[in-house]
Amino acid sequence: MGEEGQRRLLGSSAVVVGCGAIGASTAQLLVRAGTGRLRVIDRDFVEPSNLQRQALFDEHDAREALPKAAAAERKLRLLNAEIRTEGVVADLTPRNAEELLGGFDLILDGTDNFETRFLLNDYAVEAGRPWIYAAAVGSYGVTLAIRPGETACLACLMETADAGPALEETCDTVGVLGPAVSLVSSLQAAEALKFLSGRIEALHGRLISCDVWSGRIQSIGVARNTDCRACARREFSYLEGQAQPHITRCGRDSVQIHERRRTLDLGALEGSLRAAGMAVKQNGFLLKFSVPPYEMTVFGDGRAILKGSTDPAVARSLYARYIGA
């Protein structure tokens, strides 16, 4: 990186969206390395089950159920007081994307769901801003640095004409191994440091996928899709809010998540929730499970009713965690 690179790093800024497993590890690496300004955005609070993989949090944070963004800010400041570190407790939506992400040199994916990742991709492609995709589940992880106009974007990689709605594995149903998280966030942070220190030529631009259980690691070149919805046709359906599940209040303490574009396999969902140790009832039409103090009822068309809260952010978070975006 050299002295000049370190100076540039100190004058740079990055925003980490989602401060769970990957977000916390990457934020820590960037703050220790001397990234001048770092914002961390997260909508959830620390739970005891997070501690096996979420490097910035401890038992005290979980007992107090502190917002992850607030707990992360405090820890990051202890690691390197010279860095301007800021934790923002918020749910990223099309409406607040510009306010939360605008003006940063680089956006880092620390989210746990594809709804938010596609929103990040739309925002970044539209604004011509680089971002780094990273995900981990089970023992497996994947990451790709995206420079709009130069490299493939997330829509090039994942949106194909027949992309039917599939049941997604999530960290809350199948779990995630701490070392898979550390590996993927290290790969993500390395690309981030090259970018922020001005060493663009050193970015490898490849999709890295790795499995710490099997030892299989792949580095794959990804071509741009000349008909990509986002980076070729410039249709930003996630940024325009059309792709976001519509959430309305129903009853005194319930909200309904409207999902029209997917079909859920309720039997498969029942299996994965049971495997995660949850009590589930399913009758072919609907599936019911509880995450105290909430209860969620999911229908075959992807619609769901959350009882116990009227907060859309809670509904979105629980839906993403247990059903998948």
From the number of C-beta atoms within 10 Å of its C-beta (0-12, 13-18, 19+), residue 176 rates as buried
Annotation says 156 is catalytic: no
Tokens of 128: 């011509």
Contact (Cβ atoms closer than 8 angstroms) between residue 270 and residue 280: yes
Contact (Cβ atoms closer than 8 angstroms) between residue 85 and residue 73: yes
Q: In this structure, are strands 106-109 and 304-307 parallel, antiparallel, or unpaired?
A: unpaired
Contact (Cβ atoms closer than 8 angstroms) between residue 243 and residue 237: yes
* Spatial separation of the C-alpha atoms in residues 143 and 207, rounded to whole Å: 6
Tokens of 150: 């130069």
The residue whose two tokens read 């229908």 is 299
Q: How many helices (H) and strands (E) does the chain have?
A: 11, 14
The residue ranges that bind Zn ion (CB under 5 A) are 153, 155-156, 228, 230-231
* Spatial separation of the C-alpha atoms in residues 136 and 55, rounded to whole Å: 15
Contact (Cβ atoms closer than 8 angstroms) between residue 108 and residue 26: yes
* Spatial separation of the C-alpha atoms in residues 89 and 19, rounded to whole Å: 10
Contacts of 237 by beta carbon, 8 Å cutoff, 6+ apart: 122, 229, 243
Spot the catalytic one: 19, 156, 171, 210.
Answer: 171
Q: How far is the CB of 230 from Zn ion (least distance, A)?
A: 5
Q: How far is the CB of 131 from Zn ion (least distance, A)?
A: 12
Tokens of 141: 């992880």
* Spatial separation of the C-alpha atoms in residues 185 and 188, rounded to whole Å: 5
Q: In this structure, are strands 286-291 and 106-109 parallel, antiparallel, or unpaired?
A: unpaired
Contact (Cβ atoms closer than 8 angstroms) between residue 132 and residue 109: yes
